[in-house]
C-alpha cells in the first residue's frame, strides 16, 4: 500500500507535468497565426508548388523563375 506522503509527491509531480503540457499547448496554438500571416503574404502567388507540414514545421516550396526551388520555413524553425 502506498503511503500518504508518496501519494502527495505523485500528485505534485503530475501537477508540474500538467502545467508544462499546458504551456506547450499554449505555445503551439500561437504558431498557426504566424503561419497564416505568411500564407496571406503568399496569396495569389502562382509559383507555389508544395505546402507541407512535418514535425519541423510548415514549409512552402516555391519554384523560382529559373527553375530553382526555394523552401520557405513558415514558423521560423
1-28 residue pLDDT tens: 779 999 999 999 999 999 999 888 887 7
pLDDT above 80: residue 38: no
Q: What is the pTM of this model?
A: 0.38
Q: For residue 77, how far is the Cα from the chain centroid?
A: 9
Tally of domains within the chain: 1
Q: Which of 1-10, 32-41, 52-61 has the lowest mean pLDDT?
A: 32-41
Distance CA 34, CA 9 (A): 39
In the chain, what percentage of residues exceed pLDDT 90?
23
Domain with 59, as residue range(s), is 4-73
Neighbours of 41 (CB within 10 A): 10
Amino acid at each position: 500500500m502506498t503511503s500518504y506522503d508518496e501519494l502527495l509527491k505523485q500528485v505534485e509531480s503530475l501537477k508540474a507535468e500538467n502545467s508544462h503540457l499546458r504551456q506547450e499547448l499554449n505555445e503551439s496554438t500561437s504558431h498557426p497565426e504566424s503561419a497564416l500571416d505568411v500564407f496571406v503574404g503568399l496569396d495569389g502567388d502562382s509559383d507555389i508548388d508544395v505546402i507541407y507540414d512535418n514535425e519541423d514545421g510548415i514549409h512552402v516550396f516555391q519554384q523560382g523563375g529559373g527553375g530553382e526551388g526555394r523552401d520557405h520555413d513558415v514558423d521560423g524553425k
